[in-house]
Amino acid sequence: MIIIGADFHPAYWWSVRTCCRAPQLDESDLVVLGLPCMIDRRVGSEFRDALGIYDGRLFALELEDLLRSRRAGLGLILADIDNFQQFNEADSPLVRDEYLLAVAKIIADGPAHRGRGPYHLGTDEFAVILEFVTSLEARKIADSLRHNVEVLRCGGFSATLSVGVSVTEAVDGPQELLSRTALAKRIAKSEGGNLVKFQGADVFLSTYFDDLSPYVYWSDDREKPNTVNIGWLDAFHSYSTGPVDEEVLDKIFELCENPVRATRGFHPCQFCSKYDWSTPLSVEHAGKKVWLGSAEIRVPGRNRVFACPTLIYHYIQVHHYRPPQEFLDAVRAMQVNGCTRPRIFHRFSRTIPILIRGAAEQAKIVVEKS
């Protein structure tokens, strides 16, 4: 339904009907949005803007009240319309208002069903409060909103959204939740728009990186400058599939037994139907058990180093992910000798027992002489 205020002009209705595509509007949309509200089920005009959409004052009141009630799984979406200047430069201001009303309808028919809103915070910015959602659910809701606005056509104009999302797992204040979500929105805007970015209090859901892209998850002197990403997957991007031989899987498992960059938090698999944030994923192989999702592995190649999340073992084994051939060749070139090591270090590893044995024999001679 579309939100209609007291000052709604009949010309708006005709122009919205004739100019907007995806979604189509009909007479049943000419009603005031009646979403549940903590202030009043039918919010008065003092909490609506000139178009009849809930404004920032109501948003601030409801967000504060919801957080004060200590509700877990509270989410926030901030959406900024990209290239909104084109509507300001249009011949008629009606085009701009038509588009804003159409976006409000998309939000009311979609994300607002899981919470409250839409709220019109500024000329080109909307907000939605989500209730009882997980991080993944909030991200999917936001991505659906982004897509529906992308295909919207209104008066010959179209635009996209830069969307920021955050979910509070603990008790946050309004300012903390707002700051995180606004940061995510700014990142989406800075990367060209038409994107959804998630910012969490303790866990970053957005762990997707293109295969062979520069590694930036950790940036310090411990990483070589030629380190690249492999296997950083999520549910919002497609990936290559295909067979991977057991030799590669066995060696990746051994690498997962001795990971690097371990963290206290963890990432579950986003492809499994049972998505669980409470327990990290564990796998067993050859009588051994490892926990996945809270650390990384490194595979040295000819000219660069491959950085992978430990979940890559699960992605290959269960979800048929096939990494680039360059990575598979590098894994095969590694030697298993108690633990997995690059072949270039294999000869040196064999000299260590010799050096130790020689030192022990030298010590034995010194003892006998004394």
112 with 128: CB under 8 angstroms?
A: yes
Which among 173, 216, 178, 215 has a CA at the least distance from the CA of 199? 178
* CATH class label, 2-198: alpha beta
In this structure, which amino acid lies at residue 256? C
- Which residue reads 């509507």 in tokens? 87
In this structure, which amino acid lies at residue 159? A
pLDDT of residue 169: 58
> What 3 state SS string does 167-223 have?
EECCCCCHHHHHHHHHHHHHHHHHCCCCEEEECCCCCCCCCCCCCCCECCCCCCCCC
163 with 56: CB under 8 angstroms?
A: no
Q: Residues, the chain, total?
A: 370
DSSP conformation class of 13: H
CA distance 199 to 164: 8
Low-confidence ranges of the chain (pLDDT < 50): 1-42, 171, 202-206, 338-357, 359-360, 362-370
CA distance 23 to 2: 11
Distances (CA, A) of 159 to 55, 147, 162, 179: 22, 11, 10, 25
Distances (CA, A) of 125 to 83, 114, 160, 250, 293: 12, 19, 12, 50, 35
Helix, strand or coil for residue 31?
strand
305-347 pLDDT, tens digit per residue, is 999 999 999 999 999 999 999 999 999 998 755 444 444 333 3
Buried b (16+ CB within 10 A) or exposed e, 125-153: bbbbbbeebbbbbbbbbbbebbbbbeebe
pTM of the prediction?
Answer: 0.48
DSSP secondary structure string for all residues of 85-137: HHHHTSS-HHHHHHHHHHHHHHHHHTGGGGEEEEEEEETTEEEEEE-S--HHH
DSSP conformation class of 344: G
pLDDT of residue 12: 32
Geometric angle at alpha carbon 125, from 188 and 114, rounded to 5°: 85
From first CA to last CA, the distance across the chain in angstroms is: 96
59 with 127: CB under 8 angstroms?
A: yes
Regarding beta strands 335-336 and 288-292, do their DSSP bridges make them parallel or antiparallel, or are they unpaired?
unpaired
Q: Domain coordinates of the chain in residue numbers?
A: 2-198, 227-345
DSSP conformation class of 79: E
Residue 342: in which H helix or E strand, if any? none
Residues in CB range of 260: below 8 A, 6 or more apart: 295, 296, 297, 298
CA distance 19 to 97: 12
Residues in CB range of 220: below 8 A, 6 or more apart: none
